[in-house]
Structures are given as structure tokens and as C-alpha cells.
Structure 1
Amino acid sequence: MIRLLEEMEQERRRMNELGQALLEQSIPLSEHDELLALSQKVDQLMMQLHYAKVEQTERQYVRGGTNFEAPSMV
């Protein structure tokens, strides 16, 4: 899961840097194919990360390792 997070952050940084460069050149972001491809890749990585977290939580729940009760405020 850490690899997914690192890859997503790296691609997100690349996307943001490219987006900033395009904005500085007054190039519409929606017309730049490379930026759109990076955006889709980041979206896919985010979904993979989300599903990995859900799967991990489900495994913990099945094993009884997670307490879903609210902590006592007393």
C-alpha cells in the first residue's frame, strides 16, 4: 500500500507541475492530452489505494482486530 501511495504522490506532483506550467503559458488544461492522461492515472491510483485500504480494514474486522465502537468520553 505504501508503494501505491508513493506512486500516486509522484504522479500527482507531475500533474500539478505540468498544470502550473500550462497555466503560466495560458494553455487550456482541458485541451492538453498529457495532463488529462496524468489526471486519469492519478484517479486510478487513488481508487487502487482506496480499495487496498478497504480490503485491509475488512481483514482486520474479520480477524476481530478493529474496534468500531466510539471511545468513552468519561
Structure 2
Amino acid sequence: MLELIFSRPAPGGRVNLVWMQQVAYVDTRQSLPRLASALNQPQLVRDPTAVFDLMPPFWQRQVHAAGI
């Protein structure tokens, strides 16, 4: 995934945020990755790292209430 993100750098060699946003919707669960609908993708998920724990408690409760 990192190779895909860095495959299209922005002018100046920085990370292209627009490209990264488009890559976020790629469905890699199949043998041939395809662009998934943004409406079907959960926007907040329980991150397996400690980053989720840094979210404000209100937003953590929202994620848990949605059953994600």
C-alpha cells in the first residue's frame, strides 16, 4: 500500500494527498483490486494501533455505538 501511495508524488516530491484520498477507496479484499464506493466504506474503524486511543472520548463512543 505504501508503494501505491508514493507512486504519484505531488509536485516537490511530497505526498500527494488527493491521490492518497483516492487510494483510500481501493478494495483490496479481492484478487483484482478495484475502486469501491465511498458510501459503502466505513469512515471510522477501530485502528489496531494506539492511534485510536488518542481520539477524543466522544468520537471513540461514536465508533463503538455504530458497531464498527
Q: Shorter chain as normaliser: what TM range?
A: under 0.3
**Structure richer in helix, relative to its length:** 1
TM-score using structure 1 length = 0.24
- Using the size of structure 2 for normalisation, the TM-score is 0.26
Q: Which has the higher strand share?
A: 2
Greater C-alpha Rg: 1
